[in-house]
C-alpha cells in the first residue's frame, strides 16, 4: 500500500522524461484530451471488433451429446485458415475480383483524370455545372445506384435495352460473360466523379506561374497537361488508385443487388459475398477467417502498390 504513490510518480517522471519543452505535463494532457474523443471510439468500434474477428477465426465448433446436444467453440489453431486456402470458391472469387480490378480501376481513373484535366482548362465554360454533374453519382448510395442500373439492364423493362433493340442490337447485360462488366459499369458510374474531384482539387493547388513559365518556353496546352499537371498530381492519382484497390476487394453492394435479377451472380461471387454467405449459415469462425484473409490481401496489395510508386508519389 505504501509504495503506490512513489510508483505513480515514477510513471509520470518517465513519461515526461524526454520532453524538450518545460511544463510538458499539462500540454501532454491537453493533447491527450483532444485525442481521446478519436481514440476511444476507434478502440471500441474498430480495434475491438477486429481483434474479436481475429480471435474468432482461430476457433472451431465442437459438440457434445449428438446433434441436439451442446455445441461449444474451442481453439482450433489454423484449421479455419486451412479451409479458406482449400476453398476453390474463395480463390475463384478473388480471381474474379482481380479481373474486375485490373480492368475497371485503370479505366475509371483514366476517365477521371481526363475529366479533371478538361475541367482545369481555361477554355471550358460552365465549370461548376460540369463539376457538380460529374460528382453527383457519388451522392447516390451504392445500393440505390445498383437498383437503378438493374432496372436499366433488365431485358423485360429497360428503356435502354428497348432502345438498342430498335437499332438492331441485342445486348444481354446480365449474361454469364457480361454481368461482371455490368457491375463494373455501376462502380465506374458511381466513383468516377469522386476520383475526378480529388484529382481536380490537386490541380487547383498548382501555382499558375508554372503554366506561365511553360507557355513562355513554348509549351502547348497538351504538353502542359501531360508533362506538368499529371506528374505534379501523381500523389493524388496514387491515392485514388489505392482507394480503388481497397474498394474493389471489398466489392459487395453492386453484385449483391444485381444478383436479384441475374442468376449469373452466385452467392459467392465476390470475397465479401462469400464471407456473408458463410456467416449466414452460422459458420462465424469460417467467415471471420475469410474476412481476415481478405483484409491481409487488401493490405498487401494497397501497400505493395504504394511501395512501388512511392518514389514517384513522394509519399
Does residue 307 interact with other proteins by CB under 8 A? no
Q: How many CB atoms lie within 10 A of CB 264?
A: 16
One of 36, 201, 204, 227 touching other proteins (CB under 8 A): 36
- Taking the C-alpha atoms of residue 178 and residue 275, their distance in angstroms, rounded to an integer, is 24
Angle at alpha carbon of residue 114, lines to 111 and 119, rounded to 5°: 125
C-alpha cell belonging to residue 246: 481497397
- Distances in Å between the alpha carbon of 240 and those of 69, 128, 190? 52, 22, 14
Does residue 59 interact with other proteins by CB under 8 A? yes
Does residue 82 interact with other proteins by CB under 8 A? no
One of 215, 280, 300, 307 touching other proteins (CB under 8 A): 280
Does residue 51 interact with other proteins by CB under 8 A? yes
Task: Select 242 or 265, whichever has its Cβ closest to other proteins.
Answer: 265
One of 56, 104, 241, 248 touching other proteins (CB under 8 A): 56
One of 6, 23, 37, 65 touching other proteins (CB under 8 A): 65
Does residue 21 interact with other proteins by CB under 8 A? no
- Residue 265 is classified by DSSP as S
Does residue 165 interact with other proteins by CB under 8 A? no
Q: Are the C-beta atoms of residues 135 and 115 closer than 8 Å to each other?
A: no
CA 176 to centroid of chain Cα atoms:
25
Does residue 277 interact with other proteins by CB under 8 A? yes
Does residue 220 interact with other proteins by CB under 8 A? no
Of 207, 241, 203, give the one whose Cα is nearest residue 117: 203
Task: Select 75 or 129, whichever has its Cβ closest to other proteins.
Answer: 75
Does residue 141 interact with other proteins by CB under 8 A? no
For cell 430498335, the residue is: 166
Q: Which stretch binds other proteins (CB under 8 A): 63-71, 134-142, 161-169, 209-217?
A: 63-71
- Distances in Å between the alpha carbon of 25 and those of 13, 133, 202, 283? 10, 51, 39, 49
Closest separation between CB of residue 180 and other proteins, Å? 13
One of 10, 29, 165, 307 touching other proteins (CB under 8 A): 29
- Taking the C-alpha atoms of residue 98 and residue 120, their distance in angstroms, rounded to an integer, is 32
Q: Which stretch binds other proteins (CB under 8 A): 71-79, 121-129, 219-227, 305-313?
A: 71-79
Does residue 156 interact with other proteins by CB under 8 A? yes
Q: Are the C-beta atoms of residues 191 and 140 closer than 8 Å to each other?
A: no
Angle at alpha carbon of residue 291, lines to 145 and 288, rounded to 5°: 125
C-alpha cell belonging to residue 180: 461482371
Does residue 63 interact with other proteins by CB under 8 A? yes
Task: Select 283 or 309, whichever has its Cβ closest to other proteins.
Answer: 283
Q: How many CB atoms lie within 10 A of CB 307?
A: 10
Rule CB under 8 A: which residues touch other proteins?
A: 14-15, 18, 28-29, 31-32, 35-36, 39-40, 43-44, 47-48, 51-52, 55-56, 59-63, 65-74, 154-157, 174-176, 259-261, 263-268, 277-278, 280-283, 286
Amino acid at each position: 500500500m505504501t509504495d503506490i504513490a512513489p510508483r505513480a510518480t515514477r510513471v509520470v517522471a518517465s513519461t515526461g522524461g524526454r520532453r524538450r519543452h518545460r511544463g510538458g505535463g499539462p500540454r501532454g494532457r491537453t493533447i491527450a484530451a483532444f485525442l481521446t474523443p478519436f481514440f476511444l471510439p476507434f478502440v471500441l468500434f474498430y480495434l475491438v471488433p477486429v481483434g474479436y474477428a481475429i480471435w474468432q477465426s482461430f476457433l472451431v465448433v465442437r459438440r457434445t451429446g449428438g446433434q441436439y446436444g451442446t455445441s461449444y467453440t474451442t481453439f482450433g489453431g489454423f484449421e479455419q485458415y486451412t479451409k479458406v486456402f482449400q476453398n476453390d470458391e474463395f480463390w475463384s472469387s478473388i480471381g474474379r475480383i482481380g479481373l474486375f480490378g485490373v480492368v475497371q480501376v485503370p479505366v475509371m481513373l483514366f476517365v477521371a483524370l481526363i475529366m479533371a484535366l478538361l475541367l482545369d482548362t481555361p477554355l471550358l465554360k460552365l465549370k461548376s455545372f460540369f463539376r457538380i454533374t460529374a460528382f453527383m453519382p457519388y451522392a447516390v448510395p451504392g445500393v440505390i445506384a445498383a437498383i437503378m442500373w438493374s432496372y436499366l439492364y433488365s431485358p423485360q423493362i429497360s428503356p435502354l435495352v428497348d432502345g438498342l433493340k430498335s437499332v438492331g442490337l441485342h445486348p444481354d447485360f446480365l449474361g454469364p460473360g457480361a454481368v461482371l462488366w455490368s457491375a463494373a459499369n455501376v462502380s465506374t458510374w458511381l466513383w468516377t466523379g469522386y476520383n475526378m474531384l480529388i484529382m481536380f482539387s490537386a490541380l487547383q493547388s498548382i501555382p499558375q506561374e508554372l503554366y506561365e513559365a511553360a507557355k513562355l518556353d513554348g509549351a502547348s496546352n497538351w504538353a502542359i497537361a501531360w508533362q506538368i499537371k499529371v506528374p505534379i498530381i501523381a500523389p493524388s492519382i496514387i491515392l485514388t488508385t489505392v482507394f480503388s484497390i481497397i474498394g474493389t476487394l471489398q466489392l459487395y453492394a453492386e453484385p449483391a443487388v444485381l444478383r436479384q435479377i441475374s442468376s449469373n451472380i452466385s452467392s459467392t461471387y465476390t470475397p465479401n459475398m462469400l464471407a456473408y454467405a458463410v456467416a449466414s449459415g452460422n459458420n462465424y469462425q469460417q467467415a471471420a477467417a475469410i474476412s481476415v484473409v481478405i483484409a491481409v490481401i487488401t493490405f498487401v496489395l494497397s501497400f505493395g502498390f504504394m511501395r512501388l510508386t512511392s518514389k514517384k508519389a513522394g509519399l
